[in-house]
Amino acid sequence: MRRARIETRHENAVLVAAAVSPDNTDSMRTTVDGDAVVTEIERETTGGLQSTVDDYVVNLTVAETVAQTANTHRNQP
């Protein structure tokens, strides 16, 4: 079994985790620890792990961008 643990820090970690979690497969688990989003991925093959990590990083990037944009608009008069 191949495993990866991805930990990223965010201003609104709960929001980012909520955005990426619906895309989790059975081989993924996402939690929040303070300002960190922690996702653990387990796949049988290295190629499968790489594909899952690549997809997750794209989703994470989009979630962070949306969270930052929402925060910017929320703070405007």
pTM equals 0.88
Q: Is residue 73 scored above 90 in pLDDT?
A: no
- Residue 61 is part of a domain; what is its CATH number? 3.30.310.50
Q: Is residue 75 scored above 70 in pLDDT?
A: no
2, 49 Cβ separation under 8 angstroms? yes
- Percent of the chain, pLDDT > 70? 95
Determine, yes or no, domain membership for 50.
yes
DSSP tag of 67 = H
Determine, yes or no, domain membership for 77.
no
Quote the domain boundaries for residue 37. Answer: 2-69
Q: Is residue 3 scored above 70 in pLDDT?
A: yes
**29-33, 66-70, 72-76: which range is least confident on average?**
72-76
The Cβ of residue 48 has, within 10 Å, a number of other Cβ atoms equal to 14
Instruction: Give CA 18 to chain center in angstroms.
Output: 9
Determine, yes or no, domain membership for 52.
yes
Residue 30: Cβ-neighbour burial (10 angstroms; 0-12, 13-18, 19+): buried
* Count of domains forming the chain: 1
